[in-house]
Every structure is written in C-alpha cells, then in structure tokens.
Amino acid sequence: MAKVYNWQLGREMDYRFENGPAKRQFAAVFNINRCIACQTCSMACKSTWTFSPGQELMWWNNVETKPYGGYPAHWDINILELQEKANPGGQVWNTGRSDPVHAPYGTFEGKTIFETADGVNNMVTGYLPAEEDWKVPNLHEDTATAAPAKGVSLPQHDGWFFYLQRICNHCSYPACLAACPRNAIYKREEDGIVLIDQERCRGYRKCVEACPYKKPMYRPSTRTSEKCIGCYPRIEGTDPLTEGLPMETRCMAACVGKIRLQGLVQVDDRGEWLEDRQHPLYYLVHVARVALPLYPQFGTQPNVYYIPPRWVPRPYLRQMFGPGVDDAIEAYVNPSRETLAVLQLFRASQRIVFSYKIEEGPKLGEITVAGKVRELFNDTVIGFDSEGREIVRVSVQEPAIERPGQLNSI
Ligand code: SF4
Ligand code: SF4
C-alpha cells in the first residue's frame, strides 16, 4: 500500500497506488434541498447509455429516498456496519484541529475501507449485494420517519425524508480501481473520469464488491461490469451543440429541479484542488463550504458534493456528510450575497462554466430568516467557458414574463 493524502479526511491514508495522474477532475455539486425526485436524470442516463439487453437493472444515475431507500438496498448501512465491525467505536472525527485548505472538516481518526482491508487478499473492505438488492431502484419512495404530530417547522422536522441523487463519484482514490485484479479500471488524466476497459474486464465483480457507493454494475449478457462513464464524449466537447467545448453530462443537463452544477477543477499532485477563487465549484466547496462529500469516511475522496437538506436532524446528516454539516446548512440557510448569486448558475447552461463574476444590482428588500434580518439584492452572475467567453447571465430575481393574449395558433 502507498501513502496518499486525502484532504477530505485531513490526513494521509493507505491506498493501493500512488497518486493518480489526473490534472483536471470531473466534479459536481448537487443541491438536495431542491430535488423533486422526478427521475428525469435517471431516465436521461438510462435512455442514453443503459437501454440494451442485460442492462435492465442498471441505473448509473439513481435517486433514492433516505433514510430507508437505497439502490442497491441498504448499500450504505451495509458498508457502515462492516467498517464499524472492523474498528469498533473508532470511526470518529477529530474536529479540534482543522485547516481551511488541507483539512477543512478536521481529521478522520477512524479507518477507511482501504485501511480495514488486509492489503493482501483484499485491497478494499466491501461486499457483493444479493441479486434481489438490485431489483427495485426506488423502494421506500417518499417514506418519512414519522407522521409529524403538529406539522413541521425548521430547523429540524420531527418526521422527515429526503432524496439522494447518486452517480459514480469519479473518486480521486477509486475503490473499484484498487480492487480490480485485471487492472481493467483506469482514471483519465484529462478529466479524472473513471472507466472500465471492457476488453480487459472478465466480470470478476471485484469492483462491484469494493465500491462503497455500489456504482459499478454487472451485466450478465456480456459478463462484464459497467459503470457511469461521466458522459465523456460530452466532456470532451464532441457534441455538435457546444462547438468543441466541454458540455455537462446528460443527468446534469436534464435536471428539472435545477439542483445540479457540474464542472472540471484543477488538482495538484496530491489530489487537492488548486486555488481557483472564481470557479463556481471551488467557491461552493472550498470558500462558502456549503457543499460536502458523501460519506467522506469511506476514504475514496468522492468528487460529487452535496448541499445537505436543511430540515433533517443533524446527527443523521453528520454521519452521512461529515462534521461540516452544521456550517454548510448555516451557509445555505443564510447565504452570503455571493453564495446567493452563484447558486443561480445551477442548470443555467449546458456548457461547463469555468469561472464567474458578479455584477451588483439594486436592493430588492429585506427578509427575516431564522430570526435574522437580511437584505436581498438583485445581483447578476455571469458564467464563462474554458476560453473566458461569456456563456450565461442570470439574475437573483427571476424576470416576470407576461404571455401574450393569443398563446398560439392551434
Ligand atoms: S464511486 Fe465507486 S465506481 Fe465510481 S469511481 Fe468511486 S469507487 Fe469507482
Ligand atoms: S432530474 Fe433533478 S430534480 Fe429530478 S430527480 Fe433528478 S436530480 Fe432530482
């Protein structure tokens, strides 16, 4: 095992390989607060990549209802239990020592899925889901923890559920890659997308077993494993719509709730994000710290970040997103002027936004949130492509558009 630095854990950890060669990393922020579980993202992905024989149970993008739902069933509970069994009582964070750049959530003092494995027979602690676990992608849809006795109110609801949108995280330290005995899985230097070489794969399903997020899936008709490919032709800009420029994936571009913002971030040799203050994802993850990784304690350094749901009890969220939850919810519920503007970029363009700037607008009024009076401004956020050209311009206040009396000619 090599020693690599995992900034989400605030420490070095064991991994099978040295740091990978990725210079640029596929990343995204999902705002859980806005998802309506319409499954348009799931269908956009399925109708593009997994509509063929043998792929019937394959949902590279799925949206499940927490706390009871999961695809495959109970994927997260199962791996959390395995980790707890391997390190009883030790899966804890030390938040006393944090560093805004290299250890923003403190230090994880427990063991990752690489560190609870023996490193000889197994590179990763994991399990193979049973066949029936894959059968129902959205079991327990909309099932709440309890019927609220007297209605619900913030900051935490007594009966609650929320939707969790899941794709492959194109992890910086992929468990699937570390576990493959055929070395059939690789991470691309140009965008950090993790792919399974279908020629090399022999269907041993070690990746299915190892991925804690259970995102590689076995295809019986070809006897190989497959996974989300990050819509790499779109990222490469080969879709004619964007004239050679990087374009967001199908699941992101189709999102009805406008919860998703995708991008490519620059990373250094240690897998840490290079400072890029005007990059919207850098801003949301590293400056505003409103978006957090899913189960960072697994140790794969996932690259999809979530704005946690503000109505859910904090202990549940802390075990899922780590100790940054309280600050992230505060930053979302009481957003700064800049955060409010950057949030308008979600789903504003199919082209990938590489930087933004904000034009200040007039004061709209005042509102009271959580007992605090806040001023609201109609600022405009402008997004730029990889060449620095303006591709989108959105204001905080949505324009009111009056329809003409005569709607259409039918
Ligand atoms: S989410 Fe799973 S399949 Fe995707 S890169 Fe990470 S370990 Fe591999
Ligand atoms: S398309 Fe967007 S809003 Fe609809 S389920 Fe997917 S993530 Fe949620």
Contact residues for 383 (Cβ-Cβ < 8 A; gap 6+): 280, 345, 348, 349, 353, 355, 356, 390, 391, 392, 393, 394
- The residue whose CA is least distant from atom 8 of ligand 2 is 35
What pLDDT score was predicted for residue 371?
81
For the CA of 165, the nearest atom of ligand 2: 7
Distance CA 123, CA 396 (A): 48
Ligand minimally distant from the alpha carbon of residue 42: 2
Rounded Cα distance, 189 and 265, in Å: 12
Q: DSSP label at 20?
A: P
Nearest CA to ligand 1 atom 5: 170
Q: How many C-beta atoms surround the C-beta of residue 238 within 10 A?
A: 11
The DSSP annotation for 179-205 comes to H-TT--EEE-TTT--EEE-TTT-----
Write down the pLDDT at residue 268: 92
- What distance in Å separates the CA atoms of residue 345 and residue 278, rounded to the nearest whole number? 13
Q: What is the pLDDT of residue 287?
A: 97
Name the closest ligand to CA 294. 1
pLDDT at 100: 85
On whether the CB atoms of residues 232 and 191 are closer than 8 A, the answer is yes
Encoding tokens for residue 317?
Answer: 């969220």
Ligand number nearest to the C-alpha of 262: 2
Longest dimension (CA), the chain: 73
Q: Identify which of 39, 255, 258 to mutate to test ligand 2's pocket (most ligand atoms within 8 A of the CB).
A: 255
pTM: 0.96
Q: Distance between CA 256 and CA 252 in Å, rounded?
A: 9
Q: What is the pLDDT of residue 109?
A: 97
193 CA distance to ligand 1 centroid (A)?
Answer: 10
CA distance 231 to 229: 5
Instruction: Find the 169 Cα to ligand 1 centroid distance in Å.
Output: 6
Give pLDDT tens digits along the chain (410 positions).
899 999 999 999 999 998 776 789 999 999 999 999 999 999 999 999 999 999 999 999 999 999 999 999 999 999 999 999 999 999 999 998 778 889 999 999 999 999 999 988 889 999 999 999 999 999 999 999 988 777 788 888 989 999 999 999 999 999 999 999 999 999 999 999 999 999 999 999 999 999 999 999 999 999 999 999 999 999 999 988 888 899 999 999 999 999 999 999 999 988 899 999 999 999 999 999 999 999 999 999 999 999 999 999 999 999 999 999 999 999 999 999 999 999 999 999 999 999 999 999 999 999 888 788 889 999 999 999 999 999 999 999 988 888 877 777 66
Phi, psi of 27 (to 5 degrees): -150, 165
> Could you tell me the two tokens for 359?
């034009």
CA–CA distance, 255 with 264 (Å, rounded to integer) = 19
Q: Please state the atom number of ligand 1 nearest to the C-alpha of residue 175.
A: 7
What pairs with residue 390 in β-bridges?
A: 384
Structure tokens of 287? Answer: 């400056």
Kindly tell me the sign of the dihedral angle through the C-alpha atoms of 37, 40, 41, 46. positive
Q: How far is the CA of 69 from the centre of ligand 1 (A)?
A: 20
